[in-house]
Structure 1
Amino acid sequence: MNPILGEALDAHGGMERWRRFDTVRATLVSGGDLFIIKGIPQDPTPREMTASLHREHASVAPFGALDQHSDFTPDRVAIEKADGTVVAERTEPRKAFQGHVLETPWDPLDRAYFNGYALWTYLTTPFLLAMPEVEVEEIEPWREQGQEWRGLRATFPSTFAGHSTRQDFYFGPDRLLRRHDYHVDIAGGFAAAQYVYDIVEVDGIRLPTRRRAYRRDGALRPIKSQVMVAMDLSDIRFS
């Protein structure tokens, strides 16, 4: 295992503790320019997020109506009622984004797919980097706030649903996550730099509760005037 990754895993609670849990739940409030550009502005209603920890599966409720929730896996995304009735679904959902640019509108299933993979990624970082078939290598550190943040580049397998095949993660001197860089392939491939804040400890696992994803310029600097996605988490529970 890459030594920086090993240190990051330990700093966030350790693999032994992580393996004790199967599911995480949290209250989510989200927004940002991306949803406005896509024609689906987010309201400030708190939602319940549920994610499996060891496979890509996530759900958000309510979704579209009080008695509905989303259901995401890489191969299928759906909107379902509480009794399991399928309102809408799409298999091989990634294919629906072919030809999309940043301004291409999203339908509810597009949003459910994005919400599902993005939130699953955020709630399982950095532990997802230790999953089989994920390749990790050290990259040049990023210097900010008078600190050197060590960088890891992850290359994900084709079966993985995420922002992009390659994503960069930066960890502070304490090896806690500071920043996450990627391209949003399903939205024209724009470059993003996501900063994380307000790390809490829940059941021995440490994770950020506030995320802000900015457009990124050619020098890897965040464009602070363009907050593409904002996510705040609270009431986090592992089980």
Structure 2
Amino acid sequence: MRYLLYFFYITWYWGWDVAVFIIRHEIKGEKQYGIRTIGLDTLPDHLPSAERRHFSIYEPVNYYTATWLFDQLQAKDMETTLLDAGCGRGRVLAVGAAYGFRSIAGVDFSERLCATARQVCEGVAQQYPGTSFTITCADARYYEIPDSVGVIFLFNPFDDTVMEAFIDRVFESLVRRERPLKILYANPQFKHLWLEAGFRETASFVKKQILKGAVLEYRGPASA
């Protein structure tokens, strides 16, 4: 039933062809990673009405986009910490573990979604012993980026106002510890903010006119 409901949702917004493509990958992905993260979720009840316009409802990144982005990484990237900003139920955290990350962090302001992500990661940790998961329930605008983070995953969890503040947090971490950093950006609506901040686009794709992704890299002040 959950696949059917999600299929109708995608069909309504993006059409039959895209819905069939995404659902096929949903079924395959949920089975491959042994998780259950499909479906939508509402914004937290505690969020003030004035704040709601800055954030979007939970919708998991489709597996095609996620795997395409992770496929662009190199082995040395997996030696750093993966951060999923707006981690939701933990789909990207599970994918990251399967790709070889052993230090994985997720941040989301929904306590309900963070609780689900922790449950998902408990199961994933059994598949990949030695993998460390840290789930933090917090507003990304005030989240302190761990200085071990080398890859950040984004799927437009918030608007440009929050994104600008999050970019500031990223550069605070880069000042504390200068290092290369990659952004795996699904549906990169605010890509220009990262480019203006000094990141460079090194890879991108468009599939069926709807599914999009980009890899952005920061290699230090000289690259800005």
What's the TM-score, normalizing by structure 1? 0.33
Greater relative contact order: 1 or 2 (C-alpha under 8 angstroms, separation 6 or more)? Answer: 1
